[in-house]
Structure 1
Amino acid sequence: MRAAFFTGQNLPLEISEIKKPKPVKDQVLIRLHYAALNHRDLWIQQDSVPQQPVILGSDGCGVIEDVGEEADPLLVGAEVVINPSLFWGNNPIVQGDTFKILGYPDAGTFSDYVCISKKQIFEKPEHLSLEESAAVPLAGLTAYRALFSKARLRAKEKVLITGIGGGAALWAMQFAVAYQARVYVTSSSNEKIEKAKALGAIQGFNYTDPEWTQQALKEAGGFDIVIDSAGGPQFSKLFDLMMPGGRIAIFGRTAGNIPDIPTRLLYWKQISIHGTTMGTRDEFLSMLDLLESRNLKPVIDQVYSLEQINQAFERMKTANQFGKIVLKIK
C-alpha cells in the first residue's frame, strides 16, 4: 500500500510502498477513500523532529475491509468516518494523560489503509459523500466543542468567528448559523468575507484595517461569543468587542502567543476565556447528529491526489484556502 511519510522537520512528505497492516483485537482495517489536511499536520512538519518516519493525517473516510478477532465481522463493507480523538479518558472537561490525536505519533490517514479501534469509527452521515465526510472529523469536532460545550451558544446570540476560511472556523460559522445565532467573521481577505456572507454570516471585518474593531462595534454593538483560532497580538482587541458576560473560546495559535490581556476588561466585563482541544466521543456523536439534523455539508477548497500531497500543503501554507483541503486516495 501507499503511504505518505513525515521523515524530518520541514522536509517534503515521502510516498512509499509498505505492507498493508493487519487488524488485531478490536481493530478494523479501513480502505481509505479520502483524507483531509489540518493545520496540525503542517505544524507537526514545521515543529517536530520524528524519531522514525511516521504517517500523518487525522481525517479520513472509507470502507471497512477486515476486522480483528474482537470486532464484529458484519462491519466489513461499512462506510465509516474516523474520530481522530484517541484515549480521551473519563473526564469530559479535559483530556487525560493518555490522550492522543490520530496521525502523530501513531500512523494516520495519509495512506491507502489505516487500522484503528472499532471505538473510533462511526457510520458515514447519509447525506454526505465519502469525500465530504473526510472533511468533517477534526475540524468539526473542534468547532462543536468550542461553540457548544465551552462557549455555551444560545440562539440569537451574536458570535464573532476570527480568521474565516479554515476548516474549524467554517464549521463553527455553519453550526452557529444553523443554531440561529447572528454570526460575524474576520479575515484579511475581502473575498473570503464575501464567501462567508454567502454562507450565512451577517457581516465581516478585514482585520488588516486598523479601524476594524470600531467598525465591528458600530455594526454589531458587541459580541456574546468569540471563536478564535489565532491568538497573537490581535487577541487583546477582542476584549473591547465583548458584551458583559461574554465568552471567548480559543483552539489555535496561527498568529503566535498572546502578548497581553487587558485585565480590567477581563474582570469588569466578567469575560470567560476557554481553551479547548478536540473533544469527547459523545461530542463527536453529537456533532454528527447536528450535521444530519440540519443537513450541513462541509466547504471543500480543493481536492488533490495522494501523490500531490506536498502541493496540497503548499496550498495550505499560502493561507488562501476557503474550506477543507481534501486528498483523494482511492
Structure 2
Amino acid sequence: MKAFVLTDTAGPDSAVVRDEPRPVLTAGCVRVALKAASLNHRELWISRGLYPGMKLPCVMGADGAGVVTEVAEGVDPALVGQEVVLYPGDGWGDNRRFPARSFAMLGMPLPGTIAEEICVPATTVFAKPAHLSFEQTAALPTAGITAWRGLTERAALQSGETLLVTGVGGGVATFALIFGRALGAAVYVTSGSDATLARAAALGAAAGFNYREPGWRKALQEASRGLDVVFDGAPAAGLAEYSRALRAGARVVIYGSTGGPTMTMAAPDLFLRHVTVSGTAMGDLVDFTAMLAFITAHRLEPVIDRTFTIDQSREALLYLENGHAFGKVVIAI
C-alpha cells in the first residue's frame, strides 16, 4: 500500500511516500480504508526527532477518516462498510485526568493515517458525522479533541462567559473559536496578522487584537470587560500581557509552548484573583465521544486551509511549516 513514511529525523524532507506492506489485522481490531488524513504541528516535531519515544521508520499522521473494510474475529461484523473517524491514540487508561504511561498516538509510535489502510482497535473507531465529508472529518481528531477537552473539562466554559483564544489560525485555536461560539461564549482572539483576525471575525469572533501592536492588552480589557477563560498555545508571549484582564475566578488553560517553554505572570494577578492555570493535551474516549456528538448536534464544520493528495504529503508538511494560514491542512487519499 502507499504510505507517507518518516525514515530519519532531519526534518520534513526525511519523509517519503513509498509502498509499505498492508497492516496485519490482529485480535480486537478493524481494517480501515482511509479516505483522508490531516496534519498537525506534531508531525513537524516528530520529523526533527523532537518527540519522546521516537520509533522509526513510521507511517506518519494521527488524524484520519475512512471506511471499515474488514474486522477481526469477535468484532461486530456490522462495522464493515461503516464510514468512520479514528480516535488518534490508544491506551489512555482508566484515569480521565491524564493518560497512562502506555498511552500512544497514531503516527509514532503507532502506525499512522497518511496511508491507504490502517488497522486499529475497534474501540477507537467512531461513526463519521453525516454532515461532514471525509476531508472535513479527518480534520477533527487531534486538534478538535484538544480544544474540546481544554474548554469543557479543564476550563468548564459556560454560556455567557468571555473567552480569549490566543494565536487564532492554528488548528487547535480555530476549533476553540468554533466550539467557544457554539457553547455560547463571547470569543476574543489574538493574532499577528490582520488578515487572520478578519477570518476569525467571519467565524464569529467578538473582536480580534493584533499582538504586534502596542496597547493591545488594554484594548482587549476594555472590549471584553474582563476574561473568564483563556485558551493559550503560546503563553511565553502573552500570559504577562493578558493577566491583568482576568476576572476573579478566571481559568487559564495552556495547550502548547509556541514561542518558548518559559512563561511569566505576576503572582498577585494569580492569587488575588483566585485564577486557576492548568495544562491540557489530547483527550480520552469520553472526550472524543462528547466532541463528535456536539459537532453533530450543532452541525459544526472545521476550517480547511488547503487539501493535498497523498503523493503530495511532503509538500503538505512543508506547507504547514512555511505557508499555513488558517485552519487545517488535509491530505486526500
User: Fold-level match, TM-score > 0.5?
Assistant: yes
The equivalent position to 2:135 in structure 1, one of 131, 134, 157, is 131
Q: For residues 24 and 5 of structure 2, what CA distance do their matches in structure 1 show?
A: 19
Q: Counterpart in 2 of 1:35? A: 37
Letter matched to residue 20 of structure 2 = I
Measured at CA, do residues 126 and 51 of structure 1 come closer, stay the same or move farther in structure 2, by a change above 3 Å?
closer
Q: For residues 100 and 35 of structure 2, what CA distance do their matches in structure 1 show?
A: 31
Q: For residues 179 and 316 of structure 2, what CA distance do their matches in structure 1 show?
A: 26
Q: Counterpart in 1 of 2:218? A: 214
Letter matched to residue 142 of structure 2 = L
Q: How far does residue 17 in structure 1 lie from its aligned partner after superposition?
A: 0.5
Q: For residues 319 and 156 of structure 1, what CA distance do their matches in structure 2 show?
A: 35
Q: For residues 85 and 206 of structure 1, what CA distance do their matches in structure 2 show?
A: 35
Instruction: Judge which range, 237-246 or 33-42, deviates more.
Output: 237-246
Letter matched to residue 7 of structure 1 = T
Q: Counterpart in 1 of 2:4? A: 4
Q: How far does residue 319 in structure 1 lie from its aligned partner after superposition?
A: 5.7
Q: How far does residue 310 in structure 1 lie from its aligned partner after superposition?
A: 1.6
Q: For residues 319 and 150 of structure 1, what CA distance do their matches in structure 2 show?
A: 31
- 1:26 and 2:13 are equivalent in the alignment: no
- 1:160 and 2:149 are equivalent in the alignment: no
Report matched runs for 1:231-270 at 5 Å. Answer: 231-270=235-274
* 1:30-68 deviation line (CA, Å, top 9, x unaligned): 100000001111111123485431111110000111111
Report matched runs for 1:114-193 at 5 Å. Answer: 114-193=118-197
Q: Is the 8 A contact 2:12 2:318 kept in 1?
A: no
Q: For residues 211 and 286 of structure 2, what CA distance do their matches in structure 1 show?
A: 35
Letter matched to residue 79 of structure 1 = E
SS at match of 1:19: coil
Measured at CA, do residues 319 and 216 of structure 1 come closer, stay the same or move farther in structure 2, by a change above 3 Å?
farther
Percent identity, please.
36
Letter matched to residue 287 of structure 1 = M
Letter matched to residue 297 of structure 1 = E
SS at match of 2:17: strand
Unpaired runs of 5+ residues, structure 1, are: none
Q: How far does residue 75 in structure 1 lie from its aligned partner after superposition?
A: 1.2
The equivalent position to 1:45 in structure 2, one of 44, 47, 56, is 47
* 1:83-105 deviation line (CA, Å, top 9, x unaligned): 01321111111111111221111
Q: For residues 266 and 78 of structure 2, what CA distance do their matches in structure 1 show?
A: 57
Q: Is the 8 A contact 1:315 1:321 kept in 2?
A: no
Q: How far does residue 246 in structure 1 lie from its aligned partner after superposition?
A: 0.4
Q: How far does residue 259 in structure 1 lie from its aligned partner after superposition?
A: 3.8
Q: Is the 8 A contact 2:12 2:44 kept in 1?
A: no
Q: How far does residue 162 in structure 1 lie from its aligned partner after superposition?
A: 0.4
Measured at CA, do residues 231 and 45 of structure 1 come closer, stay the same or move farther in structure 2, by a change above 3 Å?
farther
SS at match of 1:156: coil
Unpaired runs of 5+ residues, structure 2, are: none
SS at match of 2:135: helix
Q: Is the 8 A contact 1:35 1:60 kept in 2?
A: yes
Q: For residues 122 and 96 of structure 1, what CA distance do their matches in structure 2 show?
A: 22
* 1:95-150 deviation line (CA, Å, top 9, x unaligned): 11111221111111011111100010001011111111111111111111000100
- 1:227 and 2:231 are equivalent in the alignment: yes
The equivalent position to 1:278 in structure 2, one of 276, 279, 282, is 282
Q: How far does residue 22 in structure 1 lie from its aligned partner after superposition?
A: 2.5
Q: Is the 8 A contact 2:244 2:269 kept in 1?
A: yes
Q: Is the 8 A contact 1:60 1:109 kept in 2?
A: yes
TM-score (normalizing by structure 1): 0.96
Question: Could you list the runs of 4 or more consecutive aligned residues of structure 1 that deviate by over 4 angstroms after TM superposition?
Answer: none
Q: How far does residue 11 in structure 1 lie from its aligned partner after superposition?
A: 4.5
- 1:110 and 2:121 are equivalent in the alignment: no
SS at match of 1:168: helix
Q: CA RMSD in A?
A: 1.3
Q: How far does residue 267 in structure 1 lie from its aligned partner after superposition?
A: 0.8
Q: How far does residue 74 in structure 1 lie from its aligned partner after superposition?
A: 2.1
Q: How far does residue 163 in structure 1 lie from its aligned partner after superposition?
A: 0.6
SS at match of 2:268: helix
Q: For residues 296 and 88 of structure 2, what CA distance do their matches in structure 1 show?
A: 20
Measured at CA, do residues 272 and 319 of structure 1 come closer, stay the same or move farther in structure 2, by a change above 3 Å?
farther
Letter matched to residue 74 of structure 2 = E
Q: Is the 8 A contact 2:17 2:313 kept in 1?
A: no
* 1:187-234 deviation line (CA, Å, top 9, x unaligned): 111111111111111100001112211111121122100001123232
SS at match of 2:208: strand
Measured at CA, do residues 51 and 161 of structure 1 come closer, stay the same or move farther in structure 2, by a change above 3 Å?
closer
Instruction: Judge which range, 48-57 or 241-250, deviates more.
Output: 48-57
